[in-house]
Amino acid sequence: MADEKRHTEAAPGDTSDSIRKETGVAHFFAAARYSRQGFLRLYEESAFRHELLAFAAGFGLFGLVGASFGEFMTYVVLMLLLFAVEALNTAIEELVDRVSPEISTVGRNAKDLGSFAVFCLILVNAGFVAYTVFF
C-alpha cells in the first residue's frame, strides 16, 4: 500500500520507480540501444544530415587525391568529434526549449554557444581537408 501511495504521489514525469539500471552484458546492449536512439534523433536534424554528406564527400575526395591511411583516420576522428559536438548542441537546444520555451537571453546564449562549438569544428575539418587535398 505504501508503494502505491508513493508511486501515485510522484512528480509528473518522474519514472524513477519504473527505471531499472542494467548491469553486465545487459548494460552493454542497453547502451547500444540508447546510442542508436540518439543517432536516429540526431538524423532528424538537417545540419547533421549535411555533415554526413560532407563526411562522405570528403572521404571520396581523400580517395581521389591518394590520402594516406593516417590522413583518412585523422579525418574520421575529426568528423566523429564533429558529430559528437552536434549531438551535444542538439541536446542543449532541446533542454533549453523544454526548460525555457519563452525567448530568453540565457537560452539564446546557450544555443549560440553550442552553435559556435559546432562552427569551430566545421572550420577545423574544412582546414584539414584543404591541407590534405592541396598540400
Would you please indicate which residues are annotated as catalytic (active-site) residues? 86
51's grid cell: 555533415
Residues 75 and 132: beta-carbon distance below 8 Å: yes
CB 92 within 8 A of CB 111: yes
- What letter represents residue 35's amino acid? S
Give residues with Cβ within 8 angstroms of 111, minimum separation 6: 92, 93, 96
Q: Which of 89, 56, 90, 88 is nearest to 75 (CA)?
A: 56
End-to-end CA distance of the chain, in Å? 73
Instruction: Spell out the residues 6+ positions from residue 67 whose beta carbon is closer than 8 angstroms to its own.
Output: 75, 132
